[in-house]
Each structure stands twice: as structure tokens, then as C-alpha cells.
Amino acid sequence: MRILVVAPQFEEEGRGIAGIVRSVIAGAAAAGHEVGVLTGFVPDGRDPYEQAVEYLASGDSTILSQAGGLKNGMILAVSQGLRGAPLRRQVIRPPQGEPNRLFGGAAFVLNTPLLYLFFHLRRLRIFRWLVRRAARKAGVDLVIAGAPLPLAARQVRPARLAQVMYDFMPLELSEIGEGTRERFRQSITKAIRGSDFLFSISRDTSAKVRERRPDARIYEVYGVAHPVGAPVPEPEQAAILDNELLEPGRYLLFISALETRKNLVRLMDAFRIAHPRIGMPLVIVGSPGESFAEIDEHYRALRRDVRQDIVFTGRVSEAKKHVLLANCNAVVFPSLYEGLGLPVLEGLAYGKPVVTSRVGALPEAGGEAALYLTDPRDTDELADALVRIVTDADLRASLTAHAADQVAFFTQERFTERVAAALNAESGDGRRAS
């Protein structure tokens, strides 16, 4: 099949949605399909292939960010329009004889410069028209929305439409406002009902899809545990730890976006309770999210001795993250809800004991290799778990003994097998667009 992947939002460094999209592209390509990516960057005069490689690898695939905001994006759109450029599609392929450096190993990039500007301005009729036009011009058999999009199968005919389902977070957390919940409910329902078939990243997500569409054809592809990072020389490792005043094996580690739904406020409170008994710092790695102000305010209100043992590193390089994972005592991820929980898999990939929550799909990520919180909102239970994961040698040994087998289910090879099986089922059983 010839496949076109549409994904308007990529996170930094290929994490989150971008990591799944990258794996979908790589998996479909490895299964023998020709896969392209629909992009929306504005040509800047450089070699189109080099610009496409940099643009997709940067984790920034919106014209708004490229232009520096909505106002500048509109100015850029007008200026491009006056030059006759905005709707000029361009097919970009790797140069012959050179290694393919496109995102996920895609065979081609189909660039429509203003595509995602219309998406973010909520001019959805224009966005859908541009997607349909691109799909028809490229002659694709299947369009895959890398994240749930306001598309219906009839809008991309004669191609078929699949969408990737991640989580139902706005409907699962009481902290989310009713307006946001209702908008999400409407958009996700349209995506589910409007697709020919669906991919999901967990059994938990699949179950929630089937609640809304019992006859949905949905294939669980899960995610990919990021492989252990490249070795870092001992002197550099020592320098990284010394810079944060850390000792090998003597700190707990949290890695994810810094948002209240990740349960960071309760984690800090639990650490305050457990602090005298565990005698090691808590290292928090990640970029601030929308709700970081509440987390920061709570941190500043803690006792000084507790604050001194909570280390916020911000976003870190892959090398530094490797060092922090390789040398931590345990990984702690007490999130309130996840569609899968890749930070759990990161910890297990390094053979570390993990504390996480028995909610959403987190038990699917952790398997028998994690210590679970029955109620992640219970600060005392979380504090007890921190103490146990540090002090109970038998528990640690039992958990880490299962880590390798658990991670083996989430390799790129297994992901490719699952994507290939889904695509074979959808292309080989006589199904055709109606």
C-alpha cells in the first residue's frame, strides 16, 4: 500500500505522540509499504530535503511555531500568498544513493505549506480539503492520522482512513474543566466513528474506544520502549552527577512533563513524609507544562530541608538522561492517568525498580516489574511506596527480575509486527472504501 501519515503536532525529541508516529512510519515501511508524511513548513530557500529533515526532527511541525506565533503566522501566510507559494505542494524524497534521514524512514514528504496554519486557526473545512487534495494527488491507498483529527473516511476517499488513539485523559480526570471535557468528547467521538479502522496504544484505550463504537476495528500496537542510550564516558558521567550533587544509586528519579496530572504535587508531599527514612534526593526531569505554576508554588512552600533534596533539572540532553537513568535508585511515576506510560518503560529498560499507579494503562506498561499504587491520590500510600522501593531488597530484586521480559514486548521489532499484522488484515481481506 501507499500510505500518507498526517500529524500536525510533534513533541520535542520524538517523545510522546511523535515517538508513536515515528514508530508507525518505521513499522509500516519495514512491512513493505511506501509511507509518506504530510507536512506544512514554509520553504526558506534551502535544499527542500535538508529543510524537511531538520523540520521534522526538531519536534516542531506547525507553521505558527515556525513563524513565531499566530500574528506572525498570518503575516507569513499573506506574504507567501502574494508570492503565489502557500498552496504549492512539493514532493520531497531522499537523494538517490544517500542514507534516508527523513522522519521515521519515510519514503517521501508531501509538503503543503499552510496546511497546519488552517488546522490551528480551526479553519477545518480548508484543512480537510487540503488533506483530501494531497491524498488524491499522491495516489495513496490509506491516510493515517497520527493523532485523532477532525477527519472522516468519506473526506479522504478513495483512500481509507485510520486514526491512532492515545488516551482519554480529559474524560478521566475530574480536574479538567467541563468545557474542555465536552470539546474533547465531541472531537474524539467524531474521530472514532469517522474512521475505517483504528490503532491504539493499549488495551485500556481500546476498551474506551469500544464503549463509544462497539463495532470498531481497532488494533493494539502499544508503544516502543526507548532503547538504552549510548554509553557515556565515566568522567562525563561523574561530571553530570557532580553538577547536580548526586551520588550513583542514591536518588529517586521522575521523568515526564511537569504537569499536575502527573501527580507531582502529591509526589513532593509523599517525599516530604518519606524523606527521613530514605535519605536520598528526588530528581525531577522534564519541561514545565501548562500547570507548572501550581507545582512550583507547592515546591516553594515546602520546608527548606525538603526543598534542598528535590532537584529540578528541566529538559536535559539524551546523554544526561541516560546518565540519570543508569545511576538512579528507582524510577517513580505516580501519574493519575496514562494511555500507556512510556516513562515506566524507560525505567524498566535500564533495569530499575519502578513505582507507578494502578490506573489507566500503566499496569500494561509495568506488568509484573512495577510496584503499584492502588490510589495515586493517597499521599500516605505513595510515601510508603517510596520507602519500600528504597529499603526492601527482596522487593527490588523481584521487580527487576521481570524488567527485561516486560520491555521485550515493547521493542520496535514487536511494534513493527503488530503494525504489519493490522495493515495486512485491512488490505488483504477484501475491504474496500465504500
Rounded mean pLDDT, 185-189: 92
Contact of 340 with 222, CB cutoff 8 Å: yes
Same domain, 176 and 292: no
Please report, for the chain, how many H helices and E strands are present, in that order: 20, 14
Same domain, 99 and 119: yes
Residue with more model confidence, 70 or 249: 249
CATH number of the domain that residue 348 is part of: 3.40.50.2000
Report pLDDT for 242. 94
Give the bridge partners for 300, in sequence order: none
Report pLDDT for 60. 47
End-to-end CA distance of the chain: 18
Contact of 407 with 349, CB cutoff 8 Å: yes
Same domain, 183 and 264: no
Q: What percent of the chain has pLDDT over 70?
A: 90
Same domain, 136 and 206: yes
Long-range (24+ apart) CB contacts under 8 A made by 175-182 are 175/260, 175/261
Rounded mean pLDDT, 358-363: 97
Same domain, 15 and 73: yes
Same domain, 213 and 267: no
Residue 217, domain member (yes or no): yes
* Structure confidence by residue, pLDDT tens digits, 370-386: 999 999 999 999 999 99
* Structure confidence by residue, pLDDT tens digits, 199-239: 999 999 999 999 999 999 999 999 888 777 778 899 999 99
Same domain, 202 and 59: yes
Residue 116, domain member (yes or no): yes
Same domain, 218 and 161: yes
Residue 133, domain member (yes or no): yes
- Closest C-alpha to 103, from 13, 25, 48: 25
Residue 432, domain member (yes or no): no
Report pLDDT for 289. 84
User: Hey, how many other C-beta atoms are within 10 angstroms of the C-beta on 417?
Assistant: 15
**Three-class SS of residue 237?**
helix
Domain housing 316: 234-408
- Residue 212 φ then ψ, to 5°: -95, -20
pTM of structure: 0.87
Residue with more model confidence, 264 or 23: 264
How high is the mean pLDDT of the chain? 88
| Number of domains forming the structure of the chain | 2
Cα–Cα separations (whole angstroms), residue 389 to 324, 356, 395: 17, 11, 7
Residue 229, domain member (yes or no): no
Confidence band of 429 (pLDDT split at 50, 70, 90): very low
* Structure confidence by residue, pLDDT tens digits, 294-337: 999 999 999 999 999 999 999 999 899 999 999 999 999 999 99
Q: What percent of the chain has pLDDT over 90?
A: 66
Residue with more model confidence, 166 or 121: 166
